[in-house]
């Protein structure tokens, strides 16, 4: 069983996933959207951090196809791993699912899924436009 790295700092993120939402932090001082969860804004070092629900939309910044994998992911290859620029700003490493072709600049939307039967649900994306 793969465990989520849940603690007080990340719990709102995982609660969002369970509710079918991608939640990000937003700095109350400078307005920056923040991902991954943390207690201090990486832009202004402010500590007034709120949680917001993201649009779940973004653009592929970069992607690659993994033709070989190991462990629980071995039988899923080939699969696409991507860096997605969320519309709110942060760049997220993720998996592209349910998409025949993926390219830089493709528009994507959130798909919350389990990548293995005994793994936690995680935010992935699918292509919705080029």
H-type alpha helices, 1-130: 11-18
Give CA separation, 12 vs 3, 5, 7, 22, in Å: 16, 12, 9, 10
Q: Is 44 in the site for Zn ion (CB under 5 A)?
A: yes
The stretch among 15-23, 45-53, 82-90, 104-112 that binds Zn ion (CB under 5 A) is 45-53
Measured between alpha carbons, how far is 51 from 83 in angstroms, rounded to an integer?
Answer: 22
Question: Please, what is the minimum distance in Å from the beta carbon of residue 95 to Zn ion?
Answer: 29
- Per-residue tokens: 95: 């998996």
**What distance in Å separates the CA atoms of residue 36 and residue 107, rounded to the nearest whole number?**
21
Contact range with Zn ion by CB under 5 A, out of 36-44, 57-65, 69-77, 110-118: 36-44
46 is a site residue for Zn ion (CB under 5 A)? yes
Measured distance CA(74)–CA(94) in Å, rounded: 17
In whole angstroms, the minimum distance from the beta carbon of 89 to Zn ion comes to 12
How many contiguous H segments (helices) and E segments (strands) does the chain have? Answer: 1, 8
Q: Is 43 in the site for Zn ion (CB under 5 A)?
A: yes
Task: Report in angstroms how near the CB of residue 62 gets to Zn ion at its nearest.
Answer: 26
Q: Does 42 bind Zn ion (CB under 5 A)?
A: no
The residue within the footprint of Zn ion, chosen from 11, 18, 20, 29 (CB under 5 A), is 29
Residues that bind Zn ion (CB under 5 A): 27, 29-30, 32, 41, 43-44, 46
């Amino acid at each position: 069983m793969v465990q989520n790295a849940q603690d007080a700092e990340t719990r709102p993120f995982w609660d969002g996933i369970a509710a079918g939402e991608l939640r990000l932090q937003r700095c109350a001082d400078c307005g920056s959207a923040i991902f991954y969860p943390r207690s201090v804004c990486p832009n202004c070092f402010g500590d007034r951090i709120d949680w917001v629900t993201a649009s779940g939309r973004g653009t592929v910044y970069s992607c690659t196809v993994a033709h070989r994998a190991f462990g629980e992911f071995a039988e899923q290859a080939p699969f696409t791993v991507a860096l997605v620029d969320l519309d709110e700003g942060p760049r997220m490493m993720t998996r592209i699912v349910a998409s025949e072709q993926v390219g830089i600049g493709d528009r994507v939307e959130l798909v919350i899924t389990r990548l293995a039967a005994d793994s936690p649900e995680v935010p992935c994306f699918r292509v919705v436009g080029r």
